[in-house]
Amino acid sequence: MDIVSLSYYDLLLGSSLIIFLSVFSFLGRLKIEKQLLVSAIRTTVQLMSIGYILKFIFTQNNMILIILISLVMLFIGAREINARQKRKMKGVKYFFISSFSMFVSSFLLTILTLYFIIETTPWYEARYAIPLLGMLLGNTMTGIALSLNFLIDTTIKNKQIIEQRLLLGQNKKEVLLDIRKDAIRNGMIPTINSMATAGLVSLPGMMTGQILAGNPPVTAVMYQILIMFLICGGTGFGVFITVLWVSDNFFDTRLRLKLNQFT
């Protein structure tokens, strides 16, 4: 099947939507025109750059190079988790926690999938490894960031209630039980919802991309189902690890709340 390639002119036509929207925003004093334009430019520059980088990596298919770029992606994701927090986490410790949970939820899962499920040869085949890792990182990062935001914000808002529960002789696990559960739920709900509506309300991006690229719909669907399971599992593990680990650091050794580590 022939693939219809897009020209720069086609992209320019597409971008006219952003320009129209910016004009409406300006006229309606919504004050989002600057953000819209900057984000559109960022998308273009970032995606074009990654396009050329991927082209280079795919031709090289060098394991070291793939691992290096994967690590860069992982650390940017971990940094982004903190950047998305309403209350920022101070210290290297939290960057480490975010990196570790992203490692388990995305990195490790990608390796296992490549090795045991897709069974590419070699297992680190860049054409599979990088997009798979990218999809997992992007989705688990959102889940982890959402759950952390809820966890930290709710704990700070409920400081007095937590302290009154501590005064009843309750331990860390007891006082945080409800907040932890809700935080995990908060991080998981978007993923669960997207699984529930996939194919009915929306056609997931990866599947659409594959079909547009000329792959048979059933192959595309199979990949999409696998990806959704991976995203769900990865987000679940990532959220679980992060929520438990971060909330464990809310207290000092005398079980006193130390929330001044969040700004």
Partner 1 sequence: MISIKNVFLDNLNYPISFKVQPGHCLGIMGDSGIGKTRLLRVIADLEESPGIITFNDLDSYQYDPTVWRSMISYLAAESLWWFDIVKDHFISRNSLNLEKLHLQKSILSKPVVELSTGERQRLALLRLLNHNTPEVLLLDEPTSALDDNNTKILEDYILSLKTNSNLPVIWVSHDLNQIERVSDRAIKLTTNKVIEII
Three-state secondary structure call for residue 8: helix
Length of the chain counted residue by residue:
263
Smallest distance, Å, CB 161 to partner 1? 5
How does DSSP classify residue 5? P
Q: Which is nearer to partner 1, 116 or 169 (CB)?
A: 169
Smallest distance, Å, CB 178 to partner 1? 8
Q: Which is nearer to partner 1, 109 or 179 (CB)?
A: 179
The DSSP line for 151-200 is HHHHHHHTHHHHHHHHTTT--HHHHHHHHHHHHHHHHHHHHHHHHHHBTT
HSE (side-chain half, CA atoms, 13 Å) at 93? 11
Smallest distance, Å, CB 167 to partner 1? 5
Smallest distance, Å, CB 176 to partner 1? 12
Smallest distance, Å, CB 166 to partner 1? 6
Is the Cβ–Cβ distance between 77 and 106 less than 8 Å?
Answer: yes
Q: Which is nearer to partner 1, 2 or 252 (CB)?
A: 252
- With CA atoms as reference, report the closest residue to 107 among 133, 86, 141: 133
Angle at the Cα of 201 (from 48 to 14), degrees rounded to 5?
Answer: 30
Q: Which is nearer to partner 1, 35 or 171 (CB)?
A: 171
Summarize as ranges the residues that interact with partner 1 (CB under 8 A). 158, 160-161, 163-171, 178, 252, 254-256
Q: Which is nearer to partner 1, 79 or 165 (CB)?
A: 165
Three-state secondary structure call for residue 251: strand
Tokens of 113: 């999938």
